[in-house]
Structure 1
Amino acid sequence: MTATSLATRLRASPELFPLDLEIGEAAALIELNPVDYERASFLDARMQRPTVARLPYPELAAAAEGLPVACDYIFHVGHVGSTLMSRVLGTHPAVFSLREPQVLRTLAQAEALGAWTPQLLDARLNVFLALLSRTWTPARRATIKATSLVSELAGRLLDQQPGARALMMTAAPAVYLATILGGPNSRQELALAAPGRLARLNRRLGGPRWRLEALSEGELAAMSWACEMSALGAAAGRNGERCAWIDFDRFLADPRAGLSRALTALHGRADPAQVEAMARSPYFERYSKAPEYGYSPALRREVLAAAERDHGGEIRRGLAWLEAAARTETPLAEILSTAEALSHVA
């Protein structure tokens, strides 16, 4: 495949997907069709697709030149229904859903390491966002559901285009802690992600505040919530009119209201008939990251109740840590107040 034919295909449709920016700055390209995008929970190496080409970054940038950045976002704190929201929104005729592009994680990690100047980082973001904005039909607009750590780049991503909108998804701290401590996989993820999250939170607050080894598992979960929530809060503070907060439990309690709010925030309107059809989506009864498995709101409530029974002590320890931190750190007090207002279910 020649560089010219690669460039032509890249500009024509989302068929050639830029999986990642590898060492040496070559973009790995894979082939995807519309069904692949629809099925994928993660647009990353877990798809196990062969690389069809590796394009040096300068050639990729040249191929993307002139393509518009025209996408919206779902940012979140993790384990708060963002995949469900992405899948259900993807059934709307005006939405093209993309879930967790690996390249955005790579760029977020590069930003944390200071790998590039801000100008070079913005240039790379612009190129990849232009490629992620491609859709199969002009009627659809891309909505990118990011990985939680990409929330650190939320403000910068929104800065790439003045028309971008974002959903900010969260859950009350007690619900988040029960969710994380109630699942073996999420507890393992918590341990792996904690060092990076603590570094990000300390950096955002202006210096070292806590030491990793001094935090219990429940306190680590609370710190993780505070890290990701404060990242979202910082982005929303700069772009408030373009960001809509959504609490997961409130969304599950009234999917029609939640979907109407999401569509209005992203596209300016929500057709009642389309909202009704989306609210009846079978995705509400499936595990969103693996739809072959059932996982209803009722089952979720049972899982959370079991987590409270089994890990109640650590949940309370984490909540106490969060409340104490909020007494000395104004940004954390603000996000606690935001979460409390969002989680109130009428």
Structure 2
Amino acid sequence: MTDTETRVHTLLEKVRTDPEPADADRLLAFFDADDPAVRRRAVEGVRVLGGYDRTFLAYAVDDFVERLDDPADQIRVDATAALGDLGEVDPDPYRDAADALAACLADDFSLVRWNALEALFHLTRSAPEAVRPHVEAIRPFLDAEAEHVREHALVSLAAVAPDRPAFVEALREPEVDVAGVPTRDGDPAPQLQDVREEQFARQRTRRRTAGRAIVAVARDDPDAVVPCADTLADRLTDRDPRVAVAAADTLFALADADPAVVRPHIDALAGRLDADAPADVRTSALRVLAVASPDTPSAVRDAVAPAVDILRDCLHDEEPAVHASAATLLALLADDDPDIVEPVTARLRALRETGDEPYVRAAAADALEAGRGV
């Protein structure tokens, strides 16, 4: 071991057990060393410091960027990983490195590609405009073998791609029927069953990821998702509750921006208030209907009337938003039949007086007033 190797090795061991701020500059001095083993230990040392305090990663961000084209594979792996570590907390310091990270998406070493994608994924939160020019470089990762890589690619594209709704096409897919495999003498062929189950697992992940992605897009830019409203309404009855919840949450974001968007889907939403619907789906549908009710009061009133008992039960839910939504819809029904709220007058009075949020207290007061239970 050369003297330089000994020094950087000793310094690396020190930061693992007894780090101090001055160690950062000591390690950075070795980033340009001729020996790749020395450079690697130096990069690793700064990452160790970053594990104690991410500000060390921000401090060394330019040095990590310079290592993105290092001839040593492992150094590129560590440099891209360091930027991803920083991105979990604050990706903004490396926003100017988007081009360099995008170049790493074509790296010969798979870990470099994946780490670069993760760093860009984090960057879409603070600087989507920096990632947008690299949409085409990200697209191939939608077909990656690793689940987390596909998810990062899909969510990144959902955030920045010009044709964002195209990335929720997975929601249009019917679920793979795991039971529908060829049989041999009445029993599923084992190998085909394994293949089918793998197809199902991958499709389920893709559909759930697409659901999370479209919710994020709808909250940021609802107009981009409006063309998908019909598909989302169809997915309210999806067999996968997570997909159904994502559809309802997306419709809520659209209704919050423009209630008219969900006007054609009032009956579909009300259909999810039934007792057999998963609780999370029922809750999300309830919120959409409450937001849409001022725009189409008659349609909402007619649609939710059969679910009055469920609305009453929702007043006892754990979530304040559910209390408010249920009270809002009960007030709407009480405009036609004040007796609707009589069985829950005591609960509404309690929410009016001690509700967790002002909007809960206001909704409870409206329901009491409509039911003449002041």
TM-score (normalised: structure 1): 0.29
Bigger radius of gyration, 1 or 2? 2
Q: As a proportion of its length, which structure holds more strand?
A: 1
The normalised TM-score by structure 2 is: 0.27
Higher RCO structure, 1 or 2 (CA under 8 Å, sep 6+)? 1
